[in-house]
Structures are given as structure tokens and as C-alpha cells.
Amino acid sequence: MKLTVALLQLKSTGSLGGNLEKGLAACVRAKVLGGDIALFPEMWSCGYNLGESREAILRGGVGADSRFVSLFGQLAKEVGMAIAITYLEADGSRLFNTMSLFDRNGHEALRYRKVHTCDFDREQYLDAGDGFGVVDLDTAGGAVKVGAMICYDREFPESARILMLKGSELILVPNACPMELNRLSQLRARAFENMVGIATANYPMGSPDCNGHSSAFDGVAYVPGRTESRDTCILEAPAEEGVYLAHFDLAMMRAYRSSEVHGNAYRRPSRYQVITAERVEEPFVRAGRVKR
């Protein structure tokens, strides 16, 4: 079974209406190119352009049932392709960094709200999501277990680990930051240690604090008949704007997951209690840390 994820490495137009129009057109192109899932960069509704106060940010938010979001659900049904649309979500007085994944029938299969908000920056005004979910996504080739994490979530191994433990085969990662060697290495590590596919969509060069290099890793480090390890990177896009296709060989990934030593094969969770401790001690104490 093959699965193609179209990474929409797009530059924001600077307006909600402009991003709606441009985003819909990019999804149609992704379908024409053979995409099974179209993935947007982080907070596409506003191009990750946040105001300087909570009140200003709230004014730029959209509801999960807004026209902006629902039109992507309608398009998913029309073209028969899953769409992972991202947006600054306003839910009453609460604000979230959100991704809604619509399946190819137009149903919202997953709504993920970013858990690890960047509280050292303007995301301190956003609320943290409640947790990580995994769904069976209906595709033309069959069901695929899909989860999500958003940008800064990537820097916490627990994010991908929880998704793996919940059965995820593929993790979608909307992103908005410079994808340099170390961040790409984080994604490579998350895929390797959990034996999962990871697809990341970033904004292109020319967008504030971004440089393109959307990427995909399939997590398969060893294959029969080869003595050396295999590069798990199946796509690294250039800096320029475009729609880039990542082709995941799910049959190979599933065979690998059924026999290799990573993931949940040999863990000892009874030894890990310290991971869930709430205390924060030096040298990690930060004056601006927001308790969630």
C-alpha cells in the first residue's frame, strides 16, 4: 500500500480570504498530482501572523465551524482527498493553534490543538490542547492510523511517543520555523525511535522566520538484504514555494514495525515515573513559564 502526502509549502497572502482562495487552489493541485492527504503549514488562516496582545490575536481567530474551515471539508469530499487545514481557532474566549483533518468523504476525522505552545513568545496568549489523538483515516488504499503534532511539539519526544503508543503509523506536522539541521534531525529521530512516518509542511523562504525544507521521514532504517542502514528521509523540499509530494510505502513500513526493536517492543514504562513529574527545577526554571 502506498500513501502520498502533499506538503503545501505556501507563502501566506496576508489575509484570511486570500489564504482561503490560495489554499483551496493548492489542494486541487495536490489532488491532480496524486495526493492522498494535503497538509498545510502551521496556522494557515493567518499565516502564523499573531497580534501583540490576546485581544488582538482573538480578533484574528476563526471558529472550527467557520466558513474558512468548512470549505476545506467540502473540497475534501468534492475531490476525494483528505485535507489537513490549520488555523488560529477562536472558541469563545479561548484560543488554540489547531489542525482539522478532513477525510476524503469530507468528515472531520481529527481535530488537534497544539499541546506545547511557545509560551516564551506570543503563543503565551494561546491555550494548550488537551492531548494527542489518533484516528483511522479512510484512504483509497485502505485505513491508515494518523496523528498530529504541531511545530514546537516536535521538540518533546513525548509527543511522538504518545502517538506511537496510540497506534499512529503516520504523524502530520504543520510547521512555522526555520527547518535547519537540528530540527530536521529531531524529526528524523522521532521517526526512527517510534518506527512511524512523519510528514512536515513548512512555509517557504520569504515567509517570516521560515525557510521551506518541508520534509518526510518513513522511519525504516534497515531493510532485508542490506548490511548498512538506510536513509529514512524520503523527501526534503527546497526553499522555494511549491507543492511537494512524499510517497510512503506503508507495506514496507508495516513489515518493519512488525519485526524491528524500536517503538514499544522493549520499553520498560515502570521505570519512567519521573517523566510525569510536574516539578521544574534549575537550570530549567523560566520566569515567563505559563502553567497549564
Check 27, 46, 151, 177 and give the catalytic one: 151
| Active-site annotation holds for 233 | no
| Active-site annotation holds for 166 | no
DSSP labels, 187-211: HHHHHHHHT-EEEEE-PPBTBTT--
Between CA 170 and CA 3 the distance in angstroms is 10
Cβ within 8 Å of residue 6, ≥6 positions away: 30, 33, 35, 37, 38, 39, 243, 244, 245, 246
- Report the first-to-last Cα separation within the chain, whole angstroms: 41
Rounded to a whole number of angstroms, the CA Rg of the chain reads 18
Question: CB–CB of 98/65 below 8 Å?
Answer: no
Query: All 3 cell numbers of residue 28?
Result: 486541487
Query: All 3 cell numbers of residue 149?
Result: 503534532
| Active-site annotation holds for 151 | yes
Check 27, 114, 169, 210 and give the catalytic one: 114
Check 11, 27, 31, 42 and give the catalytic one: 42
* Phi, psi (degrees; rounded to nearest 5) at 58: -60, -35
Active-site residue numbers? 42, 114, 151
